[in-house]
Every structure is written in C-alpha cells, then in structure tokens.
A and B are shown apart, each in its own frame.
Chain A
C-alpha cells in the first residue's frame, strides 16, 4: 500500500546548523513529492515540490534530494534559524488523477539560538 515513513519525529539543532529530515516510501509509482511547513496553530505552507524524474532541487536555503533506487526523499535546511522552528511534513503523490497526497507523520524541528 501507499505508506510514507518520516524521521526523525523530533529534531533539535543550533542556529546556523543544518537540519536533515528523511522520508521513505513504499510504492514506486509516484508522480511528485512535496515538503510542507506547519507553524503552531497554522495551516500547511508548501515549501517545495519535486517531480519524480528530478534528483535534486535547491531553493532559498532548502535542498531536496530524491533517491528513487532507495525510495528515499530528504529535506536539508542549511543554516537553520529560529524562524525555521515548526513541524515539517513530507508528502507523496501516487495518483495525480485524484490529487491525493500521502503524508509522513511529521518532524518537529526546534532551532535554538
């Protein structure tokens, strides 16, 4: 079935350090992958989306890597700052006809000054 595992569930880093979040998925029939950020009491903010045929994408201090062989997706926040503290979710789109996303369980990121 369509499953997504995300780790770690909690991550604490110092300001200026990198934070890496990893998701693994089970089904190879994927269309695209997305990362979302959720601040306390707020909705989900789309950070970045990559198609299944893209191995790497960088935008504004964020790097997404896709390893299709290992079915692994990662998000790297370089030089994290306290404003990056939030819950991060990966999401996998298996079926673009229905638009359904399968989400990981989330990573609570804390960036300490």
Chain B
C-alpha cells in the first residue's frame, strides 16, 4: 500500500480556476514537501513544512499556498491557474533532523487549458 497518498492522480483545469492537490503520508514523518516537475525545470523544490509550520518557501508566486490541517497532511492550493502551471506536482516526506532523504508520492499531473 502506498504510504504517501496524493489525490487526484490526474487533474485538468481551466485558466483562472482554483484547485487543491491533496497529500497524506502514513510514514510517521515530521516533515513534508512539495516539488514540481515540468518540461522546463525537471524537479523544483517548492515548500517544506515541519510540524505544520513552514520551513522554506522557494515559490515566487503567492498563488501557491500550502495548507496543513494535520501533521501528516500537506495540501497545495493553486489559485488563478495559468497554462504554465501545467506540471506534475510531487509530495514528499521525511524525518527531519536525521539526514534522511525524502520519500515521494506518485504525483498529481495537472494540465491547465
């Protein structure tokens, strides 16, 4: 069974709309991340959260907002969607402080028309 669950697997949206990408991890990790993979930038760090607190934000646009309702949840809300936002968004998690490499979910493939 997958230990990092991302929903949905595929998502199609129209320009200007808003979507929420869901991520839950059942590994007992205390840190969660979002990465983006597109044709232009293969794997790009977006955010890191630990104990529901933002640790690092490398996303220039405020249209991308992480939301953490529980320690093992880190959703990603994207507003005013643009075609350039089309990418695969990966959620990952790790045990912070152990020099432990993150494990990744299967990703949500977003297409903005």
| Residue B94 lies at the interface, judged by CB distance under 8 Å to chain A | yes
Contacts of B94 in A (CB 8 A): 99
- For A, the interface residue count at a CB cutoff of 8 angstroms equals 25
> Does A51 sit within 8 A of B, measured CB to CB?
yes
Known: A31-B99, A99-B48, A102-B45. A44 touches B58 (CB 8 A): no
Q: Which residues of A contact B56 (CB under 8 A)?
A: 95, 98-100
**Which chain B residue has the least Cβ–Cβ distance from A42?**
B106
B-contacting residues, A73-113, CB 8 Å: 89, 91, 93, 95-103, 105-106
B: contact size bracket: 20 to 34
State which of B97, B101, B106 has its C-beta within 8 Å of the C-beta of A32.
B101
- Interface residue from B90, B97, B100 paired with A44 (Cβ < 8 Å): B90
- Known contacts A43-B104, A102-B45, A103-B43; A51 and B50 CB within 8 A of each other: no
- Looking at the assembled complex, report how far the CB atom of A10 sits from the nearest CB atom of chain B, in whole angstroms: 14
Against A, the Cβ 8 Å flags (1 = close, 0 = not) of B17-51 are 00000000000000101010000001111001010
Q: How far is the CA of A51 from the CA of B105 in the complex (A)?
A: 23
Task: A89 to B50: give the CA distance in the assembly, Å.
Answer: 25
> Which residue of the partner chain, among B58, B90, B105, contacts A100 with CB atoms under 8 Å?
B58
A sample of 6 inter-chain contacts (CB < 8 A) reads A46-B101, A96-B97, A97-B96, A98-B55, A99-B96, A100-B58
Q: Name B's A-contacting residues (CB within 8 A).
A: 31, 33, 35, 42-45, 48, 50, 55-56, 58, 90, 92, 94, 96-97, 99-107
* B-binding residues in A (CB < 8 A): 31-32, 34, 36, 42-46, 49, 51, 89, 91, 93, 95-103, 105-106
